[in-house]
Amino acid sequence: MSRTAAAIRSADEHSAHNYHPLPIVVASAEGAWMTDVEGRRYLDMLAGYSALNFGHGNRRLIDAARAQLERVTLTSRAFHHDRFADFCTELAALCGKDMVLPMNTGAEAVETAVKTARKWGYEVKGVPDGHAKIVVAADNFHGRTTTIVSFSTDHDARDHFGPYTPGFEIVPYGDLTALAHAVTENTVAVLLEPIQGEAGVLVPPAGYLAGVRELTRERNVLFMADEIQSGLGRTGKTFACEHEEVVPDVYILGKALGGGVVPVSAVVADRDVLGVFRPGEHGSTFGGNPLACAVALEVIAMLRSGEYQQRATELGDHLHRELNLLVGGGAVTAVRGRGLWAGVDIDPARGTGREISEKLMELGVLVKDTHGSTIRIAPPLVISKEDLDWGLDQLRSVLAG
């Protein structure tokens, strides 16, 4: 049996089957390339769902992590450590906000935002205790906890995980009228992805985010943007909300904030919002640990240069130009996205997204399908134009076949 087959069989035997990975077993990776246990190389056009925006083994990030590994890695929040203040100050500045609440995973940051909005609702807005409502969008993806799946519309994510957490109202994504009707005096927040990644890289209609901003401001409701996947350079801006010159009240960040090295997430907002927390009311043993702060500080410094946003804009324009040439040619029915991020709908007659992904894998390109016949393209922002073009060549050859 090959090393690949042996590793997959053993994983199937001893891990819960909550994922259905492509049949590749990665042994090492650098930049935009991964090498499997057989020594075959693959171009990574998924980048860990944007957790690897800066590529695999990024020198600056690995050096920052290594230096911190030699000093101190974990203190818990029972004590201060010497990277914490810098991390919070720099991340708040990147977001143009006052305060940061650090967590680890994206789902934890979303949970933290939900708790923040409820507490703000009761203590600042004056909503009667226990009555807070948060409006969310259909086809959202915000993570996997019991509260978060309570407001998912995806049956796989939600079914048989009840009883569900109440307090959420679901409206169609991109529909301002529906949103305006759903907001009541007990609404404390609107929680949205500025671009819905998991749903197939759905970009809302022009003016939607600006409309949400106006509505939430008028009705004294927090606008919480889940920028876990869309943020930190992916779309050509630091935040996807910037495409409509929108500043939400609350940024929810994760994925790329940890540089593909460690899980780092955060909720970032002004003092009138995050100031609601007092000691003992929320926390995390690992949140804001020294290693996480050291890596995230380097991520923030890299984003401050604007270099990665620039790359995402330029390479993204190229990617979308090339992908749009495929639309209507038979195999591709639609292309959406922004920056170095695209959802490509394949004619179901040509195969499922999974089948297309497997064929691409055989040609040395890694992508991920989502919802039937859509494939998602999101290479690391450090990918070279030559490698991107090579990846596009493989896509064209799979779709021509």
Ligand X SMILES: *Cc1c(COP(=O)(O)O)cnc(C)c1O
Specify whether 226 is catalytic. Answer: yes
Minimum distance from residue 45 beta carbon to ligand X (Å)? 17
Single-letter amino acid code for the residue at 117: A
For residue 117, give the H/E element and its range.
helix 106-120
Nearer to ligand X, 106 or 248 (CB): 106
Minimum distance from residue 230 beta carbon to ligand X (Å)? 7
For residue 163, is the peptide bond before it cis, meaning its omega torsion is within 30 degrees of 0?
Answer: yes
Specify whether 141 is catalytic. Answer: yes
Ranges of H-type helices in 327-371: 353-362
Nearer to ligand X, 193 or 387 (CB): 193
Q: Which residue out of 226, 249, 345, 387 is catalytically annotated? A: 226
For 5, counting Cβ atoms within 10 Å of its Cβ (0-12 exposed, 13-18 middle, 19+ buried), the class is exposed
Cβ neighbors of 188 (< 8 A, separation 6 or more) are: 117, 118, 120, 121, 125, 127, 132, 133, 134, 221, 222
Binding to ligand X by residue 201, rule CB under 6 A? Answer: no
Name the segment binding ligand X (CB under 6 A); options: 3-11, 102-110, 123-131, 150-158: 102-110
Cβ proximity of 366 and 360 under 8 Å: yes
Judged by CB under 6 A, the residue of 116, 187, 216, 229 near ligand X is 229
Q: Give Rg (Cα) of the chain.
A: 21
Binding to ligand X by residue 197, rule CB under 6 A? Answer: yes
Give the SS3 label for residue 377. Answer: strand
Interface characters, 66-85, with ligand X (x: CB under 6 A): --------------------
Judged by CB under 6 A, the residue of 226, 345, 369, 387 near ligand X is 226
Nearer to ligand X, 253 or 315 (CB): 253
Restricted to residues 118-147, the positions that interact with ligand X (CB under 6 A) are 141-143
Binding to ligand X by residue 107, rule CB under 6 A? Answer: yes
Alpha-carbon torsion 278, 281, 287, 289, what sign?
Answer: positive
Minimum distance from residue 19 beta carbon to ligand X (Å)? 12
Q: Give the residue numbers marked as catalytic.
A: 141, 226, 255
Tell me which residues touch ligand X (CB under 6 A): 49, 105-107, 110, 141-143, 193, 197, 226, 228-229, 254-255
